[in-house]
Structure 1
Amino acid sequence: MEEPDLFTAAAEERREKDPGASPLAVRMRPRTLDEVVGQQHLLRPGSPLRRLVGEGGGGPAGPASVILWGPPGTGKTTLAYVVSRATRRRFVELSAITAGVKEVRTVIESAKRESGAYGRETLLFLDEIHRFSKAQQDSLLPAVENRWVTLIAATTENPYFSVISPLLSRSLLLTLETLTDDDLRGLLHRAVADPRGLAGTVSLPEDAEAHLLRIAGGDARRALTALEAGAGSAIAKGEPEITLETLEAAVDRAAVTYDRSGDQHYDVASALIKSIRGSDVDAALHYLARMIEAGEDPRFIARRLMISASEDIGMADPTALQTAVAAAQAVALIGFPEARITLSQAVIALALAPKSNAAYLAIDAALADVRKGLAGPVPPHLRDSHYQGAGDLGHGHGYRYPHDLPGAIAAQQYAPDAVHGKRYYEPTRYGAEARYADVLDRVRERLSGE
């Protein structure tokens, strides 16, 4: 016989009597897998997730550990809650930000008591497991191996880098995808009409809905929180619908004209890069702000900055690429809202850096020659000479080892005959590239044997 979870039961009863007592995002939390928005690749019939909740016959089955990997707001907590509800397991939630080994051990001991005394299994949902150290993650292994708890761990970071191998090998890894606008649109419609949600007390016009989708950025929790704020303001003013103006005031943001799937997406991204190229740091920050406010994927912005660092700055400041790559890595680790600061730093650094497109022109010129058929055989002295019989073919004969020579430069032919003497890289005299230009002049002079 089960011991009732008095606190959980009381909370459920309170929510049923007064739905408004909980935030809208909590009230609209799916109760079954069929109510889950998005993630259809995980919800097909016969999937591991379906089997975990006992669908398909035979009762609950599957591993004692599941790792959910995906961006914020994609439903990691929701899936853990649904699994707990479907399997009637006791649900315990911990965050790796605030919890440590002590709290984990307390949950495990409690789970063993619940199982022994009442036959009730425990589902431990551990959010942001990547924040746990190796030692802290090790403390989970006995509970997982002995099935004292069903562990569902959530992470926004690549688990192959952030979760220890023993735990990863014992887990079912499920990758969650960013919710699409269609996914979120369906969720918003449901929240407006559902008795658990707004119960039709207000309507949501298309322009307000579009603004909600922009500011949500694929995050269901953010979308519902903003909807609730807008609905509260509209109801307080006695308005039958959530107008765009009411919504903007409620969420304290201006609507940004920006279609992430249309021309505006590419126009604003293009304007950002061209402003960086033109060294107008203020214009670049304006376009960055528009992309952020429109809910643009920060990884897309970071990728554009990495391209700009090589295409428009190049050797005039070789550290620009390092800055852009570091920003991309930081964005992947921290996400919004903090990532806005990292992206701002990178945009400022790139906009104010000296500019050169010499590296971009150099590779395109070399590619053009290759596509014209200007290739030809590799000179014999440069060919691989490490395998048996290479010497008989003349491979490597006459090769001069640069490190044996003054300045470590050997005057010999490196390019095929078809492009021998071609000059692809023509450095500018801007920034650090001026120094490389001087070096190149001396190197080319030595290579020519002059």
Structure 2
Amino acid sequence: MRPQSLDEVVGQAHLLRPGSPLRVLASAGGGAAGPVSVILWGPPGTGKTTLAQAIAQSSGRRFVELSAVTAGIKDVRTVMERALNDRDLYDVATVLFLDEIHRFTKAQQDALLPGVENGWVTLVAATTENPSFSVISPLLSRSLLLTLEPLTDQDLTVLIQRAVADPRGLNGAVELTDEALEALVQLSSGDARRALTALEAAAGSALSTSAGGAVGDDVDGEFEFDAIDEDEDEEEDAEAGGSGEAPERRAAEEPPGPALITGEIVAVSVDRALLRYDRNGDQHYDVISAFIKSLRGSDPDAAIHYLARMIEAGEDPRFIARRLMVHAAEDVGMADPQALPIAVAAAEATQLIGLPEARIPLAEATIYIATAPKSNAVISAIDSAIADVKAGRFGLVPKPLRDAHYPGAKRLGHGKGYLYPHSDPRGVVRQQYLPDELEGTTYYQPTQHGREREIAERLEKIRRITRGG
């Protein structure tokens, strides 16, 4: 079902208008007029690999694919050398598609520069991470950055219907009810790959059911798009007038019509509920909002429920991990200082192991944070301080606190009068630390929740000493 040209690509209309850089790049000789390097940034299943292959197919270039997960500098240099030879000896240009470029180290990305700068290859790099942080500046400055959007429901409908009818797909072997089509679109959440995978599973189940199996059974355990082939010998016999059998018998043995895919078959075959969850729509924000508010409200059961919904709907687990880290710092804070390290550990584990195993550390962090004592004293403190700074309420650093290590600093009075806390048996001394304009200001006001109860008692004693109260 992979498109052979840009005209067959579903979605990304904003990148495929006449005269667009991708159109120029895909045209014959487009490498001379168009960009030499393109970075495609977008979520999974939005067509990054498809676009790269369509560019190569349309322009007659050789297509080479590398994955940053498994490839190294040696692989890159091998491709570059082959591309240079093909260009010089056979006048054949090469499109190098590098998937997940964000996984390449700086040194590995540096190895791409000679080929890009000299035009040995047309580099099409794909990433799901922000290229500003994951791609080196020299490569980024030499590349055209294009942002891919998740497919719309309309795009997914077109894609699924095409896969059902196209000879390269199901070739009309199945039909979809409206409910089944809507279910497949809902389950895909803007991801073309997920849509085709779900359709493939549902088609296998439907064909098995029509052959006398139970709903949910697959044909030979698996179904693939290229598995639909007509029996050419039987067709030739029919065209030749048949085998002399009675018409009634031949009619009885004629192959049945297309198998019907219903909403029930979709639900059973993909083994998940028909969730309505658009990662860029209201339900995305509704579910993540409910997740955060359940954490803040100390309801671990509700928080786990919304976590499960996000995971099953295909939400990026790294997004969930980031929200857990933010919540641990914002809504738990010093009431339980272990909440943030646990959230960070869950994020690191998610990055290392991925789904489905990542669901476990994410759930552990969710339950820990939901059941932890809550305090927003930290965010209140920093936001109040930032508000003062933005309003111009700040002054000179008190002279005892200024840097005094350079020549001439003491002559300016820097460091004079500074009292070293460790010289006092209490470990705290009376000293003005805030500028004169803010003397006596209190930003951090600990609550009586969790560890902050102890902090509040200790801080009250400390402030009496440092401020002379």
TM-score bin, normalised by smaller chain = 0.7 to 0.9
TM-aligned CA distance change 1:448 to 1:69, over 3 Å: same
Report SS of the residue matched to 1:51. helix
Q: 1: CA distance between counterparts of 2:450 and 2:41?
A: 43
Change (3 A) 1:265 1:161: closer
Name 1:75's counterpart in structure 2: 47
Give the corresponding residue for 2:15. Answer: 42
When structure 1 is superposed on structure 2, of 235-244 and 287-296 the one drifting more is 235-244
User: Which residue number in structure 2 is paired with residue 355 of structure 1?
Assistant: 374
1:14-413 alignment, distance < 5 Å: 27=1, 29-54=2-27, 61-238=33-210, 240-256=259-275, 265=284, 268-298=287-317, 301-302=320-321, 304-324=323-343, 327=346, 337=356, 339-359=358-378, 410=430
Measured after TM superposition, the shift of residue 49 of structure 1 is: 1.7
Letter aligned with residue 21 of structure 2 = P
Cα distance change, pair 265–173 in 1 and its aligned pair in 2 (3 A): closer
Whole-angstrom distance in 2 between the partners of 1:381 and 1:318:
30
Quote the offset at 1:182 in angstroms: 3.5
When residues 329 and 66 of structure 1 are mapped into structure 2, their CA distance, relative to the original with a 3 A threshold, is farther
TM-score norm. by structure 1 comes to 0.73
- What is the root-mean-square deviation in Å for CA atoms of aligned residues? 4.1
> Contact 2:72/2:108 (CA < 8 Å) preserved in 1?
yes
2:100 alignment partner AA: E
1:431 and 2:450 are equivalent in the alignment? yes
State how far apart, in whole Å, the 2-side matches of 1:279 and 1:269 are: 15
Task: State the secondary structure of the residue aligned to 1:125.
Answer: strand
Give the conservation status (yes or no) of the 8 Å contact 2:62–2:95: yes
- Of the structure 1 ranges 57-66 and 95-104, higher mean CA displacement relative to structure 2 is found in 57-66
Amino acid in the other structure paired with 1:69: W
Q: Offset at 1:445?
A: 1.9
The answer for the alignment partner of 2:239 in structure 1 is: none
Aligned-pair CA distance for 1:223? 1.2
Amino acid at match of 2:337: P
Aligned-residue sequence identity (percent) comes to 62
State the AA in 2 paired with 1:32.
S
Structure 2 CA distance for partners of 1:177 and 1:277, relative to 1, 3 Å? same
Distance in 2 between residues matched to 1:155 and 1:75, nearest whole Å: 11
Deviation at 1:438, TM superposition (A): 2.0
| Kept in 2: contact 1:214–1:295 (CA 8 A) | no
User: Deviation string for 1:24-43 (max 9, x for gaps)?
Assistant: xxx1x222223322323322
Measured in 2, the distance between the counterparts of 1:362 and 1:167 equals 41
Distance in structure 2 (CA, Å) of the matches to 1:88 and 1:333: 39
Q: Could you report, residue by residue, the CA deviation over 1:46-83 in whole angstroms, capped at 9, with x for unpaired residues?
A: 3222221238x988522332222222212111111011
C-alpha spacing 1:142/1:272, structure 2 compared with 1 (3 Å): closer
Q: 1:303 to 1:102 in 2, by over 3 A?
A: closer
Contact 1:96 1:128 in 2 (8 A): yes
Q: Quote how far apart the aligned CAs of 1:290 are.
A: 1.6
C-alpha contact 2:106 2:136 (8 A) present in aligned 1: yes
- 8 Å CA contact retained: 2:95, 2:122: yes
Q: Find the aligned partners of 1:261 and 1:62 in 2 and give their Cα distance.
A: 31
- The range that moved more, 204-213 or 435-444, is 204-213
SS of aligned partner of 2:45: coil
Counterpart Cα distance in 1 of 2:418 and 2:291: 44
- SS of 2:43's equivalent? coil
Whether contact under 8 Å (2:41, 2:128) holds in the other structure is yes
Q: Contact 1:54–1:61 at 8 Å: present in 2 too? A: no
8 Å CA contact 1:379, 1:413 repeated in 2: no
AA at the equivalent of 1:136: Q
Amino acid at match of 2:156: L
Which whole-Å CA distance do the structure 2 matches of 1:376 and 1:135 have between them? 44
Secondary structure (helix, strand or coil) at the match of 1:178 reads: coil
CA contact (8 A) 2:186 2:276 kept: no
Structure 1 residue 221: deviation in Å?
1.0
Change (3 A) 1:312 1:103: closer
Question: Is the Cα–Cα contact under 8 Å of residues 332 and 369 in structure 2 kept in the other structure?
Answer: yes
User: Match of 1:74, SS?
Assistant: coil
**Residues 264-296 of structure 1, C-alpha deviation per residue, up to 9 Å, x if partnerless?**
656644543344345443442232112211234
2:150–2:191 CA contact under 8 A, matched in 1 = yes
Structure 1 counterpart of 2:74, which letter?
A: K
**How far apart in 1 are the matches of 2:468 and 2:145?**
60
Contact 1:67 1:171 (8 Å CA) reproduced: yes
Aligned to 1:17: none
Unpaired runs of at least 5, structure 2: 211-257, 403-412
Shift of the 299–198 alpha-carbon distance from structure 1 to 2, 3 Å rule, reads: same
- Which letter maps to 2:97? F
CA contact 1:215–1:293 (8 Å) conserved in 2: no
C-alpha separation in 1, matches of 2:348 and 2:87:
43
Decide which moves more: 408-417 or 163-172: 408-417
Contact persistence 1:402–1:409 (CA under 8 A): no
Deviation at 1:400, TM superposition (A): 9.7
